[in-house]
Amino acid sequence: MTEVVIAGIGQTAVGEHWDISIRELALRSIELAQADAGGLQPQAVYVANMLSTPLSQQAHLGALIADFAGLNGVEAATIEAAGASGGAALRVGYLAVASGQVGVALVVGVEKFTDQVGSTVDAALSTSGDSDFEAVQGLTPTAQAALLMRRYLHEFAVPRQAFGGFPLVAHANGASNPRAMFQKAISLDLYARAGMVSDPLNMFDVAPLADGSAALLLTRPELLPPGFPHALVRLAGSSLVTDTLALHDRPDPLTFHAARLSVERACRAAGIQPAQLDLFELFDAYSIYTALSLEAAGLAQRGQGWQLAQDGQLNLNGALPVATFGGLKARGNPGGATGVYQAVEAVLQLRHQAGANQVPGARWAMVQALGGPASSVATHILERRD
């Protein structure tokens, strides 16, 4: 397999983009990524999206966005894996370039939640679960996460406020991210007083749904333009793993089995252990997901993931910084585009271009996107090459 590097990155602010269409939103990040890569032109376009059909009444995004970006005649397709769509599209782009079939691949994630409001959005989100056995009963992803958190609190006798450390870290980091939806730190007292969304999940345990687009240009080192101005960041490991779609089919719902396997496979490909990572852009759509992801990665013992935030280990200057630009919780959750945002943010860290959010001396980063409660898990290891 050929070495694959990330040559260009681009991202829009995450928020409510009422005034532009899904194709226009995607184009903004594509143009930024191409400019960042010195004008590289892709031969393939992989579009990560989760819900454009029910929310924007638009399918066939591969052709739509390639056409709108002036890339007619290229290979193009939409990649969907619920919340892991961005990570899955990155996996497809990586394999296309690594195999030698594609010289330059564009991976673009785009999502527009604000094209619809209210129950329409809830119904669309529920399609990521098991329609016959979960969605038909009215189970939403948020209610499902609440059930997991309730079980975690019971099984491990964890105090309810223990989960407050995760959103505190995310919002502290989001405060200095100009593209974040929420740019204000919060206190533990504010967390404790927040209203319930789905008991025991309160407002700060649930990432806000938002519009956004992010893009990456992948290529081989020898195809980089002369005088490439950035530190090289390579994709050192890549993995996509699935588990049962329905929670009731798992022997232990508090074990993210696919996340564990995905981390193991990506780290094995990169030749490192999770303990060597300098940062982890994890999928903090819900506070309970953060704890379970840390435990699945082997970074905390079962039932102990929440303690890493309590001990300060997840801060920017801690042992393993997470959500370094605010994560889903403060940056916002742009659905299928999330995995691409995570990779863009990791590249900024490894290039040492993260400004006030910089993790000192960052060399290794792991990004992980989850579809549902880790029913699909895409994990990538990125390395700075000096």
CB 286 within 8 A of CB 206: yes
192-211 in b/e form (b: 16+ CB < 10 A) is: eebeebbebbbebbbbbbbb
Backbone angles phi, psi at 187, to 5 degrees: -105, 165
- In this structure, the answer to whether residues 199 and 309 fall within a common structural domain is yes
| Tokens read off for 278 | 């300098």
Backbone angles phi, psi at 366, to 5 degrees: -120, 135
Q: Coil, strand, or helix at residue 242?
A: strand
Is residue 52 included in any domain, yes or no? Answer: yes
- In this structure, the answer to whether residues 334 and 370 fall within a common structural domain is yes
Q: Is 76 exposed, middle or buried (0-12, 13-18, 19+ CB in 10 A)?
A: buried
- In this structure, the answer to whether residues 330 and 282 fall within a common structural domain is yes
The pLDDT profile of the chain, 386 residues, written as one tens digit per residue, is 789 999 999 999 999 999 999 999 999 999 999 999 999 999 999 999 999 999 999 999 999 999 999 999 999 999 999 999 999 999 999 999 999 999 999 999 999 999 998 889 999 999 999 999 998 888 999 999 999 999 999 999 999 999 999 999 999 999 999 999 999 999 999 999 999 999 999 999 999 999 999 999 999 999 999 999 999 999 999 999 999 999 999 999 999 999 999 999 999 999 999 999 999 999 999 999 999 999 999 999 999 999 999 889 999 999 999 999 999 999 999 999 999 999 999 999 999 999 999 999 999 999 999 999 999 999 999 999 98
CA dist 141 and 64 (Å) reads 29
- In this structure, the answer to whether residues 167 and 257 fall within a common structural domain is yes
The enclosing domain of 67 has a CATH number of: 3.40.47.10
- In this structure, the answer to whether residues 155 and 218 fall within a common structural domain is no
| Domains: count for the chain | 2
- In this structure, the answer to whether residues 105 and 238 fall within a common structural domain is no
Domain extent, residue 88, equals 5-117+209-232
- In this structure, the answer to whether residues 76 and 186 fall within a common structural domain is no
Is residue 125 included in any domain, yes or no? Answer: no
CA dist 131 and 291 (Å) reads 26
Q: Coil, strand, or helix at residue 261?
A: helix
Query: Strands 232-242 and 376-385, how do they pair?
Result: antiparallel
- In this structure, the answer to whether residues 215 and 274 fall within a common structural domain is no
- In this structure, the answer to whether residues 150 and 254 fall within a common structural domain is yes
